[in-house]
């Protein structure tokens, strides 16, 4: 059974508590429960969040040899972090870039992603449902890769 890591970046711990008009009313804990339920019988799943760039880098490094792929909502670090991009490239694990909002329909500074060039694909704009879509996309990718 494959093992996935879902990694959430800065401020995503505040989901459902602030700016519900932008990010919805669902909390990160609600999303975690939905993902855990969706994983049953399909994959092992770890679900993490950090507000710290270096901690996210450490968690990406630690995923090598533990998990088969990563779903990453890097939050605002998406648009700034060469360190996260380098960490992803270094572990050579398939990464799905995930966003709740459609970053391409928002401010211009959100259109740039340092994650996109090292990701197998990007899912954005589907709110909390994007987490489940990302799991299915990554599991499908891993199945095809295994042949």
- The footprint of ligand CA2 (CB under 6 A) covers 11-12, 14-15, 18-19, 23, 73, 75-76, 78, 99-101, 103, 110
Contact 97, 81 (CB under 8 A): no
**Is 19 or 33 the residue whose CB approaches ligand CA2 more closely?**
19
Contact 120, 94 (CB under 8 A): yes
* Structure token pair of residue 127: 């709110």
Length of the chain: 147
Q: Minimum distance from CB of 85 to ligand CA2 (Å)?
A: 15
The active-site residue, picked from 67, 99, 114, 131, is 99
131 is annotated as an active-site residue: no
* Structure token pair of residue 143: 């199945």
From residue 55, alpha-carbon distances to 66, 74, 96, 132, 139 in Å are 17, 12, 19, 24, 25
**Is 92 or 107 the residue whose CB approaches ligand CA2 more closely?**
107
**Is 39 or 98 the residue whose CB approaches ligand CA2 more closely?**
98
The active-site residue, picked from 23, 77, 114, 131, is 23
Q: Minimum distance from CB of 111 to ligand CA2 (Å)?
A: 10
From residue 63, alpha-carbon distances to 2, 59, 147 in Å are 13, 6, 22
23 is annotated as an active-site residue: yes
Q: Minimum distance from CB of 143 to ligand CA2 (Å)?
A: 26
Measured CA to CA, the distance from residue 94 to residue 64 in angstroms comes to 11
**Is 2 or 79 the residue whose CB approaches ligand CA2 more closely?**
79
Q: Minimum distance from CB of 53 to ligand CA2 (Å)?
A: 13
Q: Using the 8-state DSSP alphabet, how is residue 141 labeled?
A: H
Catalytic residue positions, numbered: 23, 99
């Amino acid at each position: 059974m494959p093992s996935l890591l879902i990694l959430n970046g800065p401020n995503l711990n505040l989901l459902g508590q602030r700016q519900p008009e932008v990010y919805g009313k669902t909390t990160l804990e609600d999303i975690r429960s939905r993902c855990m339920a969706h994983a049953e019988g399909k994959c092992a799943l770890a679900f993490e969040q950090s507000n710290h760039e270096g901690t996210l880098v450490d968690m990406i490094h630690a995923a090598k040899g533990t998990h088969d792929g990563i779903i990453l909502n890097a939050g605002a670090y998406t648009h700034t972090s060469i360190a996260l991009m380098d960490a992803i490239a270094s572990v050579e694990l398939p990464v799905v870039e995930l966003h709740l909002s459609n970053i391409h329909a928002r401010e211009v500074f959100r259109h740039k992603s340092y994650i996109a060039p090292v990701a197998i694909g990007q899912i954005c704009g589907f709110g909390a449902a994007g987490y489940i879509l990302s799991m299915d996309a990554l599991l499908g990718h891993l199945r095809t890769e295994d042949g």
